[in-house]
């Protein structure tokens, strides 16, 4: 039986030395099970690089210069949803690490870890596991209950708007489905985001998933009736 193809990784990191070092060490440390196929120092180029090289994993440093690591993660998740994204965070990045998980990162690893200590969690991520620090898990457990309580406090039309917003509808599509103008949709979305305590559609979608609001929604399909 032939040897399986190595796990392909794209590294998005502001320090070329780190990226080159990981690219040199990972094949030998993994016994040929993982390899870095491309690197970039630019958050703006992250999604394009991932689309070009078709990796299984994208390793993204949260400390990237503007537009930043969180924007890079969101762009990758939006354009290449099948790629597992891993955020690299420092001890001071607890807030950004949590936000990274909210917007779709499957794991959070320490940016100070030695390359040999990255191998096991990277391979676990490919197998579908989530790898996150304990403090992030604790917060996610707490916010899941908070999100459900928040969902229950919303009216039917607010929950309907939240579903539409979280399933990728455009402003025009939401306006048609809710029988209002696009200007009204913008106003309603702004009010909903304030009530949810988030600042973007991506964060609203993550919170909707935690709340159970999307449990009856088929990916790519229409939301079920409000309940």
Q: What is the pLDDT along the chain (227 residues), one digit of tens a residue?
A: 445 788 999 999 999 998 999 899 888 888 888 899 999 999 999 999 999 999 999 999 999 999 999 999 989 988 888 898 999 987 766 778 878 877 878 888 888 877 777 777 777 766 665 565 545 545 554 555 667 777 888 889 999 999 888 877 888 999 999 999 999 999 999 999 888 877 777 677 777 777 878 765 544 444 444 33
- Asked if residue 227 is part of any domain, the answer here is no
Whether the bond between 67 and the residue before it is cis, its omega within 30 degrees of 0, is yes
Note whether 82 and 126 are same-domain residues: yes
- Asked if residue 117 is part of any domain, the answer here is yes
- Asked if residue 224 is part of any domain, the answer here is no
Note whether 75 and 154 are same-domain residues: no
Q: Are 68 and 161 in contact (CB under 8 A)?
A: no
Tally of structural domains, the chain: 2
Look up the domain containing 30 and give its range.
7-136
Note whether 57 and 110 are same-domain residues: yes
- Asked if residue 121 is part of any domain, the answer here is yes
Note whether 54 and 158 are same-domain residues: no
Distance, CA of 52 to CA of 57 (rounded, Å): 13
Note whether 161 and 52 are same-domain residues: no
- Asked if residue 217 is part of any domain, the answer here is no
**What pairs with residue 12 in β-bridges?**
40, 60
Q: What is the pTM of this model?
A: 0.60
């Amino acid at each position: 039986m032939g040897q399986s193809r190595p796990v392909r990784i794209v590294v998005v990191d502001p320090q070329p030395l780190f990226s080159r070092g990981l690219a040199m060490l990972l094949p030998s440390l993994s016994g040929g099970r993982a390899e870095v196929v491309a690197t970039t120092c630019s958050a703006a180029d992250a999604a394009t690089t991932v689309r070009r090289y078709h990796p299984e994993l994208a390793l993204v440093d949260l400390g990237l210069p503007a537009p930043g690591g969180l924007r890079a993660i969101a762009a990758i998740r939006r354009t290449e949803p099948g790629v597992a994204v891993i955020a690299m965070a420092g001890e001071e990045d607890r807030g950004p690490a949590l936000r990274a998980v909210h917007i779709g990162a499957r794991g959070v690893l320490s940016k100070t870890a030695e390359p040999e200590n990255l191998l096991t969690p990277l391979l676990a991520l490919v197998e579908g596991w989530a790898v996150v620090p304990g403090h992030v898990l604790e917060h996610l457990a707490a916010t899941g209950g908070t999100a459900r309580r928040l969902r229950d406090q919303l009216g039917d039309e607010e929950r309907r708007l939240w579903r539409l917003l979280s399933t990728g509808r455009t402003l025009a599509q939401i306006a048609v489905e809710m029988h209002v103008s696009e200007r009204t949709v913008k106003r309603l979305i702004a009010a909903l985001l304030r009530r949810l305590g988030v600042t973007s559609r991506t964060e609203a979608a993550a919170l909707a998933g935690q709340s159970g609001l999307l449990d009856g929604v088929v990916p790519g399909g229409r939301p079920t009736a409000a309940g």
